[in-house]
């Protein structure tokens, strides 16, 4: 450098003008420009052209001048449209001229002037910095393949030599400053220097400082040019971005944002690699370290050269800012700016959690979505709860919240991810990334419940850390867990504001199985001074220590935090509908139903529920509350079963026609369905509803017997057409019913629980059947005979009544002897619901002549079937064609096949039996404790609990049954009431009901009985 100073050219303007005329035949006014080691003049010719004349330092090695020249020439040839200086030939056609003064040879070069204002003198908008990145990217892209021996020079400004700064540390007087630089140097030695040789290298500009970058005077978001290739060299490509970003960050309120804008622009023109972007933060810092140490060393050697210190003060300021940042977060921002994941695997973690949400165990006692929940009002700065919390009065905040919960019937408070909050008032919430900014966006998920509420890990984990954070408004007891599920990158979960008991129970390295206790929500004295809640947060960056994980982040970088610390709602089991409430309000729907639909369209509950999604055993309402569905027996194998949805979608996307054309599905399905039945039942027909199936059964019956007389059970329901209403005492006997038709003969419900006390139990079947014998005898007395007997194999509307042994055998025998046929309505009870058998009639040891099916057959898809004998089918074949537009279409049959596959493949009949037995046992123990439970009955997952006000008289406890069904609904469990007195609790949960689901139902029933009976006194 000393040599350079001695050979710095110092030509007068007149001398320079003479050189210009001599070598370039140009005449113009010259204006000197700043230069550290050369002499530069701006040349304005009379005709409006503008150039720069450079007189090169005499000490500059020839190879460097040649390199500069070659570089300018290459740029001119390969990127003629780029706004960079373009080389002007000398009069003799050379790229350079030379002149000698005082024995020193100087080279002269003339290049075009690039118009614009130095970026240093303009504001650095994101647009300008993005444009700078693009320009540098285009420039470097134009240099691809360019090489010159001069590019391999040794420069302290070469990022690879940044470690040399260590040797200059001694020139930095302040020990703290020196320590700061040492920290960056240590990081450089440890994690950057070893990786630099592996990175892509190329010839780069290497000095895009804001004096070398020009901005368009008319558009401050556009870079108009790049000048001064004096520091160009062969170096890692990423250094280009790092250097530009280091200068752009000086005095910038958001230096990482500035770097991100440059990286984003550069990446668009010259795609960066992840491993390059991962080093960017350190390289930016090291450019500054190089700069301040060179300045310090030069100051030590050169008195008072203001140019040397030009960027020293802001460089120090920026270094201090960078030192305060977490490099992982800065790198995440930079990665995101280039379209990479904020941390490798972040997106895979988020999608794994969504994809595997059904296998996650409840974090609270019950699935979080099952609690009536509401938002905690921290998003409202003026709310008394927010105000008390921010003022450090957690008990007041808690009282406000408890009162709100009590009034609204809320059990779980939710503080959502991403919420803007004003509660974070302390110094610790000042942003380290963006000046004059606070961190306000909540990056965890808060679950508010009483202190002492236990929280469990939904997924197996290893304890990463357990600690107590003492800061006011900190976390209190804080636990970090590490999860490494198969097929998912590892991730952390952070559990804050817990009670201190966890500290003595857990330690780093402990293994927690899924469902294991993590801790308890702490009281304000233990939890950092908050109303009791859990702060749950996911970190996809597993290298962060618990206390480094940002619980609250800058709004500006919310998209970055969303990947680094994704919303834990799904992990915690909260339904998305809790946040995204769409669709028509309840009142509007109720009003429109009244206006547009039949007014007597049936609806459940005084305050109806609006469901928007079904998933397995759960129905989710429009506020995200999940209800355990123990009632709807249509979704037999669980709501939205993927196998059914898939089969339906695939066939619907391929072909749907009707039975006038050949198709595999209908015969495949008929084959599979009849295979589940006794061999006599060999012929199938398909329809669209249970009613249609029953109507078809009646046509078959008439064709075969030529008769009309019906024997049906009391309180039965068989369908919605008029002829079926006429056979349904439940309808024709009640409101709006037209009474019993002459051809309809109603037999008593063979309900053992209400049988005369004098009847021995083993005779119930025969005794009830006598009633049918009487009906037949009465017909016979009139010269008539029954055409058929129609009954559900387990009468459901009548109150989940299990037929006494031998009943159907006896009745079927009598009906057949009288010339009738026997029809089993399996619309509710078929398809393995009873567990022990495929079909409920099998439990009675009979084979019907016709079986009708509906509801569960298509798991919600409108499908129904009739299966009969060959003889009856032959009778029906009387010349009239049978056609049903939709019945047996390829889509419906595909659905039917999928349902059978799942029942068989997942052994759901066995499950129904096991879980049914578990429930029955629990109900029976309840019966011992609650007088009101008169009878518990069920088989598989077809269950009833009859409530009585007097066990001796068996008088119905209708009001209590209604209160229990409503109470269960309030607690998130759906069941119905049934029977002539509406006093039988009716449950028909999906066949996939698990032991955990059953225990949930049992717990809710217990709670409800307790509450209802306490109220009833």
Ligand X SMILES: Cc1ncc(COP(=O)(O)O)c(C=O)c1O
Whether 518 and 498 have beta carbons less than 8 Å apart is answered as yes
CA–CA dist 725, 717 (Å, integer): 7
Stretch that binds ligand X, among 381-389, 689-697, 833-841, 912-920 (CB under 6 A): 689-697
**Among 230, 690, 765, 887, which residue sits at the site for ligand X (rule: CB under 6 A)?**
690
57 versus 688: smaller Cβ distance to ligand X: 688
Neighbouring residues of 684: CB distance < 8 A, sequence distance ≥ 6: 669, 670, 673, 674, 865, 866, 867
- What is the number of the residue whose Cβ is closest to ligand X? 690
Q: For residue 854, how far is the Cα from the chain centroid?
A: 35
CA–CA dist 900, 857 (Å, integer): 8
H/E stretch holding 172: none
203 versus 790: smaller Cβ distance to ligand X: 790
Neighbouring residues of 849: CB distance < 8 A, sequence distance ≥ 6: 704, 821, 822, 823, 868, 869, 872
93 versus 736: smaller Cβ distance to ligand X: 736
431 versus 859: smaller Cβ distance to ligand X: 859
Output the smallest distance, CB 932 to ligand X, in A: 27
Q: For residue 469, how far is the Cα from the chain centroid?
A: 30
Stretch that binds ligand X, among 328-336, 685-693, 895-903, 970-978 (CB under 6 A): 685-693
**Which among 391, 388, 416 is positioned nearest to 402, based on CA atoms?**
388
**Among 114, 827, 933, 974, which residue sits at the site for ligand X (rule: CB under 6 A)?**
827
Determine whether 553 is exposed, middle or buried from the number of CB atoms within 10 Å of its CB (0-12, 13-18, 19+).
Answer: buried
694 versus 875: smaller Cβ distance to ligand X: 694
776 versus 827: smaller Cβ distance to ligand X: 827
Output the smallest distance, CB 828 to ligand X, in A: 5
In Å, how far are 123, 801, 929, 941, 965 from 946, measured between CA atoms?
79, 10, 14, 16, 12
Compute how many residues bind ligand X; rule: CB under 6 A: 13
Output the smallest distance, CB 730 to ligand X, in A: 9
Output the smallest distance, CB 671 to ligand X, in A: 24
Q: Does 858 bind ligand X (CB under 6 A)?
A: no
Stretch that binds ligand X, among 387-395, 596-604, 805-813, 825-833 (CB under 6 A): 825-833
* DSSP, res 169: G
CA–CA dist 996, 1002 (Å, integer): 10
**Which among 521, 554, 563 is positioned nearest to 413, based on CA atoms?**
521
Whether 897 and 672 have beta carbons less than 8 Å apart is answered as yes
Q: Does 158 bind ligand X (CB under 6 A)?
A: no
Q: Does 125 bind ligand X (CB under 6 A)?
A: no
Token pair of 758, please? 């004098």
Whether 347 and 563 have beta carbons less than 8 Å apart is answered as yes
Stretch that binds ligand X, among 639-647, 674-682, 686-694, 938-946 (CB under 6 A): 686-694
564 versus 840: smaller Cβ distance to ligand X: 840
**Among 342, 689, 705, 869, which residue sits at the site for ligand X (rule: CB under 6 A)?**
689
Backbone angles phi, psi at 135, to 5 degrees: -60, -45
864 versus 948: smaller Cβ distance to ligand X: 864
Output the smallest distance, CB 717 to ligand X, in A: 5
**Among 691, 705, 844, 983, which residue sits at the site for ligand X (rule: CB under 6 A)?**
691
Q: What is the DSSP string of 642-680?
A: HHHHHHHHHHHTT----TTS--HHHHHHHHHHHHTS-TT
Stretch that binds ligand X, among 142-150, 607-615, 642-650, 688-696 (CB under 6 A): 688-696
Helix (H, G, I), strand (E, B) or coil at 101: strand
Output the smallest distance, CB 715 to ligand X, in A: 11
566 versus 719: smaller Cβ distance to ligand X: 719
Q: Does 792 bind ligand X (CB under 6 A)?
A: yes
828 versus 983: smaller Cβ distance to ligand X: 828
Token pair of 529, please? 């001074």
H/E stretch holding 138: helix 126-142
Output the smallest distance, CB 635 to ligand X, in A: 14
Q: Does 828 bind ligand X (CB under 6 A)?
A: yes
185 versus 853: smaller Cβ distance to ligand X: 853
Output the smallest distance, CB 692 to ligand X, in A: 7
7 versus 689: smaller Cβ distance to ligand X: 689
CA–CA dist 842, 848 (Å, integer): 9
In Å, how far are 83, 121, 124, 585, 665 from 222, measured between CA atoms?
12, 14, 10, 49, 64
848 versus 972: smaller Cβ distance to ligand X: 848
Stretch that binds ligand X, among 258-266, 511-519, 760-768, 822-830 (CB under 6 A): 822-830
Output the smallest distance, CB 649 to ligand X, in A: 23
295 versus 691: smaller Cβ distance to ligand X: 691
CA–CA dist 530, 196 (Å, integer): 47
Stretch that binds ligand X, among 108-116, 683-691, 778-786, 961-969 (CB under 6 A): 683-691
Token pair of 839, please? 């079909």
Stretch that binds ligand X, among 219-227, 764-772, 776-784, 823-831 (CB under 6 A): 823-831
Q: E-assigned strands of 540-625?
A: 552-553, 611-615, 618-621
424 versus 841: smaller Cβ distance to ligand X: 841
**Among 825, 849, 978, 997, which residue sits at the site for ligand X (rule: CB under 6 A)?**
825
CA–CA dist 992, 914 (Å, integer): 11
Output the smallest distance, CB 986 to ligand X, in A: 11
Whether 281 and 320 have beta carbons less than 8 Å apart is answered as no
Half-sphere exposure of 783 (CA within 13 A, CB side): 0
* Binding pattern for the stretch 692-731 against ligand X, x by CB under 6 A and - elsewhere: --x----------------------xxxx-----------
Output the smallest distance, CB 821 to ligand X, in A: 17
Helix (H, G, I), strand (E, B) or coil at 359: helix
Token pair of 530, please? 């908050």
Stretch that binds ligand X, among 199-207, 523-531, 684-692, 938-946 (CB under 6 A): 684-692
72 versus 673: smaller Cβ distance to ligand X: 673
CA–CA dist 988, 845 (Å, integer): 23
Please report which residue ranges of 972-1017 form alpha helices under DSSP H.
Answer: 995-1016
- Binding positions for ligand X, rule: CB under 6 A: 689-691, 694, 717-720, 792, 825, 827-828, 854
């Amino acid at each position: 450098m000393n040599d350079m100073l001695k050979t710095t050219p110092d030509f007068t303007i007149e001398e320079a003008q003479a050189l210009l005329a001599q070598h370039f035949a140009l005449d113009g006014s010259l204006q000197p420009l700043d230069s550290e080691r050369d002499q530069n003049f701006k040349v304005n010719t009379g005709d409006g052209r503008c150039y720069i004349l450079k007189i090169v330092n005499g000490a500059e090695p020839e190879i460097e001048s040649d390199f500069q020249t070659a570089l300018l020439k290459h740029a001119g040839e390969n990127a003629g449209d780029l706004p960079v200086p373009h080389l002007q030939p000398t009069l003799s056609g050379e790229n350079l001229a030379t002149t000698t003064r005082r024995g020193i040879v100087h080279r002269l070069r003339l290049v075009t002037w690039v118009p614009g204002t130095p970026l240093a003198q303009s504001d650095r908008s994101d647009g300008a910095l993005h444009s700078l990145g693009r320009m540098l990217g285009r420039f470097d892209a134009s240099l691809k393949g360019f090489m010159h021996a001069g590019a391999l020079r040794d420069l302290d400004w070469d990022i690879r030599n940044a470690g040399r700064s260590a040797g200059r540390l001694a020139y930095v007087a302040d020990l703290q400053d020196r320590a700061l630089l040492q920290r960056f140097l240590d990081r450089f030695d440890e994690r950057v220097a070893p990786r630099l040789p592996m990175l892509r290298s190329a010839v780069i500009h290497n000095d895009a400082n804001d004096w070398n970058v020009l901005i368009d005077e008319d558009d401050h978001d556009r870079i108009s040019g790049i000048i001064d290739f004096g520091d160009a060299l062969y170096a890692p490509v990423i250094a280009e971005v790092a250097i530009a970003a280091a200068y752009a960050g000086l005095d910038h309120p958001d230096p990482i944002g500035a770097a991100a804008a440059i990286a984003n622009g550069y990446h668009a023109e010259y795609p960066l690699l992840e491993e390059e972007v991962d080093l960017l933060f350190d390289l930016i810092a090291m450019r500054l370290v190089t700069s301040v140490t060179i300045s310090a060393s030069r100051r030590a050697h050169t008195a008072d050269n203001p140019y040397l210190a030009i960027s020293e003060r802001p460089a120090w300021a920026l270094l201090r800012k960078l030192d305060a940042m977490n490099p992982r977060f800065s790198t995440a921002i930079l990665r995101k700016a280039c379209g990479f994941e904020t941390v490798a695997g972040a997106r895979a973690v988020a999608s794994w959690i969504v994809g595997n949400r059904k296998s996650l165990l409840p974090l609270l006692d019950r699935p979080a979505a099952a609690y009536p929940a509401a938002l905690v009002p921290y998003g409202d700065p003026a709310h008394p709860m927010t105000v008390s919390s921010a003022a450090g009065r957690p008990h007041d905040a808690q009282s406000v919240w408890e009162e709100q919960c009590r009034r609204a019937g809320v059990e779980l408070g939710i503080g959502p991810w991403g919420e803007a909050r004003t509660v974070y008032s302390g110094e610790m919430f000042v942003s380290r990334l963006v000046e004059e900014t606070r961190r306000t966006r909540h990056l965890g998920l808060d679950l508010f419940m009483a202190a002492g509420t236990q929280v469990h890990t939904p997924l197996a984990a290893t304890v990463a850390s357990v600690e107590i954070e003492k800061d006011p408004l900190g976390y209190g007891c804080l636990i970090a867990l590490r999860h490494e599920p198969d097929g998912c990158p590892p991730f952390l979960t952070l559990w804050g504001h817990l009670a201190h008991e966890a500290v003595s129970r857990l330690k780093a390295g402990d293994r927690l199985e899924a469902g294991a206790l993590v801790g308890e929500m702490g009281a304000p004295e233990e939890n950092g001074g908050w109303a009791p809640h859990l702060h749950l947060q996911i970190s996809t960056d597993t290298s962060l220590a618990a206390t480094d994980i940002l619980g609250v982040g800058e709004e500006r970088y919310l998209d970055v935090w969303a990947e680094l610390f994704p919303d834990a709602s799904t992990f915690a089991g909260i339904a998305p509908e809790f946040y995204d409430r769409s669709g028509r309000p309840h009142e509007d729907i109720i009003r429109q139903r009244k206006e547009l639909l039949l007014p007597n369209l049936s609806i459940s509950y005084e305050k109806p529920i609006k469901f928007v999604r079904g998933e397995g055993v759960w129905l989710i309402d429009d506020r995200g509350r999940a209800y355990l569905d123990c009632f709807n027996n249509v979704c037999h194998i669980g709501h939205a079963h993927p196998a059914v949805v898939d089969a339906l979608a695939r066939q619907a996307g391929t072909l749907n026609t009707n039975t006038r054309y050949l198709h595999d599905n209908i015969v495949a399905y008929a084959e599979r369905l009849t295979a589940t039945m006794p061999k006599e039942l060999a012929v199938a027909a398909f329809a669209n509803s249970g009613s249609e199936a029953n109507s078809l059964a009646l046509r078959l019956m008439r064709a075969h017997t030529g008769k009309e007389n019906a024997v049906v059970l009391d309180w039965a329901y068989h369908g919605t057409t008029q002829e079926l209403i006429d056979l349904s005492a439940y309808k024709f006997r009640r409101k709006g019913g037209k009474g019993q038709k002459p051809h309809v003969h109603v037999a008593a419900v063979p309900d053992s629980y209400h049988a005369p006390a004098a009847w021995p139990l083993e005779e119930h079947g025969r005794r009830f059947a006598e009633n049918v014998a009487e009906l037949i005898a009465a017909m016979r007395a009139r010269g008539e005979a029954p055409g058929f007997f129609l009954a559900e194999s387990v009468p459901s509307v009548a109150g989940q009544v299990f037929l006494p042994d031998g009943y159907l055998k006896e009745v079927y025998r009598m009906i057949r002897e009288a010339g009738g046929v026997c029809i089993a309505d399996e619309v509710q009870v078929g398809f393995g619901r009873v567990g022990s058998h495929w079909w409920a009639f099998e439990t009675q040891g009979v084979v019907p002549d016709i079986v009708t099916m509906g509801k569960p057959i298509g798991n919600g898809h409108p499908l129904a079937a009739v299966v009969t004998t060959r003889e009856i089918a032959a009778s029906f074949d009387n010349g009239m064609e049978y056609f049903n537009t939709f019945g047996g279409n390829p889509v419906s049959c595909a659905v039917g096949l999928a349902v059978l596959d799942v029942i068989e493949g997942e052994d759901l009949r066995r499950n129904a039996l096991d879980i049914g037995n578990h429930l029955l046992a629990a109900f029976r123990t309840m019966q011992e404790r609650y007088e009101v439970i008169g009878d518990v009955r069920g088989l598989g997952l077809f269950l009833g609990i009859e409530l009585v006000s007097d066990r001796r008289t068996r008088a119905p406890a209708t009001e209590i049954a209604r209160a229990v069904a409503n109470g269960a609904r309030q607690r998130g469990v759906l069941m119905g009431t049934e029977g002539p007195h509406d006093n039988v609790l009716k449950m028909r949960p999906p066949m996939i009901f698990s032991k955990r689901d059953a225990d949930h139902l049992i717990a809710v029933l217990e709670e409800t009985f307790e509450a209802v009976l306490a109220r009833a006194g």
